[in-house]
């Protein structure tokens, strides 16, 4: 069996930046894995740092390259690029999921392809790059990663307001308007919501910690189906 500590090396080469091996390993450690291994450090602090680095790099790039856009348009474009869905697509493009260290529960429920885990890990890797190689290298990494997103802003813009995007695409293709139903489970302090949306002949389900987030997740799934058809 291959040594798990060797996993980050090919990822570092794919990223095109020299990241300290311990920092990269930390960036790839999900809290579910950490809890199952005696409470070792996990990647959430690096994720916090990487989120800030990502936001600044994208903001400066958009401001300097799109001088004709007003503040509102710039904000919408930024939100679409740094959204969970967009970052998850970035992660998939570099095969990040196969390198993440997950606990057994997350492993069994498909954690390696969950948008939230992939997006958070991407931010953690950016944070690790900042600490290991400096701000310029971290900014350069961000710009390399998001370049494909900028070529298709409408697709990722759906992640910002999926319910509106779903309603618009349904109207455009002549499907019936989206209809939502929501159920909740669990105690008040840890309630989980499951939303089902039906639009035309498409039925999709989304989960979240609130009715709103569950409906948004369901809407985004349905939008992806209809967008693929369109």
- Give the model's pLDDT for residue 97: 93
Q: Please identify which of the residues 89, 106, 123, 204 carries the catalytic annotation.
A: 123
Give 225's DSSP letter.
Answer: H
The response to whether 98 counts as a known ligand-binding position is: no
pTM of the model: 0.73
Structure tokens at 113: 């392809």
- The verdict on whether 51 is a catalytic residue reads yes
Question: In this structure, are 39 and 86 located in the same domain?
Answer: yes
How far is it, in rounded angstroms, from Cα 186 to Cα 184?
7
- Give the model's pLDDT for residue 83: 83
- The verdict on whether 123 is a catalytic residue reads yes
In a domain, 205, yes or no: yes
pLDDT grade for 157, boundaries at 50, 70 and 90: low
Of 151, 182, 216, which residue constitutes the final position of a domain? 151
Question: In this structure, are 140 and 26 located in the same domain?
Answer: yes
Q: What is the CA radius of gyration of the chain?
A: 19
Question: In this structure, are 18 and 102 located in the same domain?
Answer: yes
Does the pLDDT at position 74 exceed 50? yes
- Give the model's pLDDT for residue 88: 87
Which of 2-11, 57-66, 104-113 holds the top average pLDDT?
A: 57-66
Which of 89-93, 159-163, 202-206 holds the top average pLDDT?
A: 202-206
Q: What is the CATH number of the domain that holds 171?
A: 3.30.160.20
For the beta carbon of residue 63, count every other beta carbon within 10 angstroms.
Answer: 13
In a domain, 122, yes or no: yes
C-beta separation of 26 from 46 below 8 A: yes
Does the pLDDT at position 7 exceed 70? no
In a domain, 109, yes or no: yes
The number of CA neighbours under 13 Å toward the Cβ of 52 is: 10
Question: In this structure, are 212 and 144 located in the same domain?
Answer: no
How far is it, in rounded angstroms, from Cα 45 to Cα 8?
19
The response to whether 123 counts as a known ligand-binding position is: yes
- Give the model's pLDDT for residue 19: 92
Structure tokens at 217: 């997740």
β-bridge mates for residue 196, sequence order: 181, 205
Question: In this structure, are 53 and 147 located in the same domain?
Answer: yes
C-beta separation of 202 from 225 below 8 A: yes
Q: What is the CATH number of the domain that holds 47?
A: 1.10.1520.10
Which sign, positive or negative, has the C-alpha torsion 137, 139, 142, 148? negative
How far is it, in rounded angstroms, from Cα 66 to Cα 59?
11
Question: In this structure, are 102 and 212 located in the same domain?
Answer: no
Give SS3 for 34. Answer: helix
Q: Please identify which of the residues 51, 89, 115, 215 carries the catalytic annotation.
A: 51
Which of 16-20, 122-126, 215-219 holds the top average pLDDT?
A: 122-126
The response to whether 47 counts as a known ligand-binding position is: yes
Question: In this structure, are 125 and 210 located in the same domain?
Answer: no
Question: In this structure, are 166 and 147 located in the same domain?
Answer: no
């Amino acid at each position: 069996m291959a040594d798990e500590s060797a996993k980050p090396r090919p990822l570092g080469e794919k990223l095109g930046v020299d990241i300290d091996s311990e920092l990269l390993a930390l960036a790839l450690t999900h809290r579910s894995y950490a809890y199952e291994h005696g409470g070792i450090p996990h990647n959430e602090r690096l994720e916090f740092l990487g989120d800030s680095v990502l936001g600044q790099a994208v903001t400066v790039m958009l401001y300097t390259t799109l001088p004709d856009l007003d503040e509102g348009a710039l904000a919408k474009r930024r939100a679409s690029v740094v959204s969970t869905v967009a970052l998850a697509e970035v992660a998939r493009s570099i095969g990040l999921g196969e390198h993440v260290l997950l606990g057994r529960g997350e492993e069994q429920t498909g954690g390696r392809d969950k948008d939230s885990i992939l997006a958070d890990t991407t931010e953690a890797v950016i944070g690790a790059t900042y600490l290991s190689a400096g701000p310029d290298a971290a900014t350069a990494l961000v710009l390399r990663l998001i370049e494909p997103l900028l070529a298709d802003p409408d697709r990722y813009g759906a992640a910002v307001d999926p319910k509106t995007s779903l309603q618009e695409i349904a109207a455009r293709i002549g499907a019936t308007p989206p209809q939502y139903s929501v159920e909740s489970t669990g105690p008040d302090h840890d309630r989980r919501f499951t939303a089902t949306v039906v639009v035309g002949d498409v039925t999709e389900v989304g989960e979240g910690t609130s009715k709103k987030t569950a409906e948004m997740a369901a809407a985004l799934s349905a939008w992806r189906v209809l967008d693929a058809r369109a």
